Amino acid sequence: MSTSAQPRILTAPFGRTGHQSTRTLFGAAAFSRVTQEETDRTMETLLAYGVNHIDTAASYGESEVRLGPWMETHRDRFFLATKTGERTYAAARDQIRRSLERLRVTQIDLIQLHNLVRPDEWETALGPGGALAAAVEARDRGLVRFIGVTGHGLSVAHMHRRALERFDFDSVLLPYNYPLIQNPRYAADFEALVAICRQQNVAVQTIKSATKGPWSEQVQQMERAHRPAATWYEPLADEQDLETAVQWVLGRDGVFLNTAGDIHVLPKILEAATRFRERPTDGEMAKLVRDAHMTPLFAEEAK
């Protein structure tokens, strides 16, 4: 496939890493349960749109394995990020090395401590003998170049701020969409985190841009293979709705958008990213929320 026919997605500096990443990063959770043939077609699509940044994780099923053949032949075309969900030094050290083997590379650009939100896990991972020590060791040995932290839920922005006080992370990753940011507490925490990241030149990655809301009870009871999409939440289906949601995120300077974890939703997001002109207004977003029946993905946590 020719890689020159498609319009390209704009790039921006990925924090202090020195890499110009496409504003839309490929969320390789989409490769959790796909064949190598499906992976190959999707990777050709990414190349066609000029996407140059891949975000995967050790826990994303077969994602790292599916990416392996492509990293052997196209490693220089992508900023490669993965994640460890382990919390202790030994387990994280072993998982990082296993990720290198599965991805068929000698170095990962970014290793991230995955979904580090619960206070007890946070203390373990960032404390003595924790996963952070394994990430730092891997960086010192040249196995990884940069270290980040990721998370979900309403407390994640606050926890990421604490994490940046504890360690000089190179990137953060957290949810960001219009319904979520209507929560005053989350909005305040998000803005405070972004301000710190801007000051320290830390890359800000966002997820869940294309989320309609949680799956209905009926869909939740289905086997994953029979759901309308591979994501654990319901993505927006209408192309215009999805474009509006994507462009709202891209309209925020200084953030990157990770694509949804479904290979069939991916092309719609990439196409929307190529057409970005200006951020939708609050009125346009309120109409989208109303017409598409968008609801917050995360419930308020117990006090």
pLDDT of residue 161: 98
Q: Give this prediction's pTM.
A: 0.93
Predicted local confidence at residue 15, as pLDDT: 98
- The whole-number pLDDT of residue 190 equals 98
In this predicted structure, what is the pLDDT of residue 45?
96
- pLDDT score for 303: 37
Q: Is residue 47 part of a domain?
A: yes
Asked whether residue 86 is domain-assigned, the answer is yes
| 223-260: pLDDT as tens digits | 566 555 666 667 788 899 999 999 999 999 999 999 98
- Predicted local confidence at residue 1, as pLDDT: 43
Position 222 pLDDT exceeds 60? no
Enumerate the β-bridge partners of residue 211: 235
Query: Looking at residue 219, what is its pLDDT?
Result: 56
| Residues spanned by the domain of 72 | 11-291
* Number of independent structural domains in the chain: 1
Residue 226's pLDDT is 53
Question: pLDDT category, 3, cuts 50, 70, 90?
Answer: very low
Q: Looking at the domain assignment, is residue 137 inside a domain?
A: yes
pLDDT on residue 24: 97
Three-state helix/strand/coil letters over the chain: CCCCCCCCCCEEECCCCCCEEECEEEEHHHHCCCCHHHHHHHHHHHHHHCCCEEECCCCCCCHHHHHHHHHHHHHHHCEEEEEECCCEHHHHHHHHHHHHHHHCCCCEEEEEECCCCCHHHHHHHHCCCEHHHHHHHHHHCCCEEEEEEECCCCCHHHHHHHHHHHCCCCEEEEECCHHHHCCHHHHHHHHHHHHHHHHHCCEEEEECCCEEECCCHHHHCCCHHHCCCCCCCEECCCHHHHHHHHHHHHCCCCEEEECCCCCCCHHHHHHHHHCCCCCCCHHHHHHHHHHCCCCCCCCCCCC
| CATH number of the domain enclosing 269 | 3.20.20.100
Q: How large is the average pLDDT for residues 1-26?
A: 84
In a domain, 301, yes or no: no
Average pLDDT over residues 137-146: 98
Q: What is the pLDDT of residues 204-216, one digit of tens each?
A: 999 999 888 775 6
pLDDT in the model for residue 210: 87
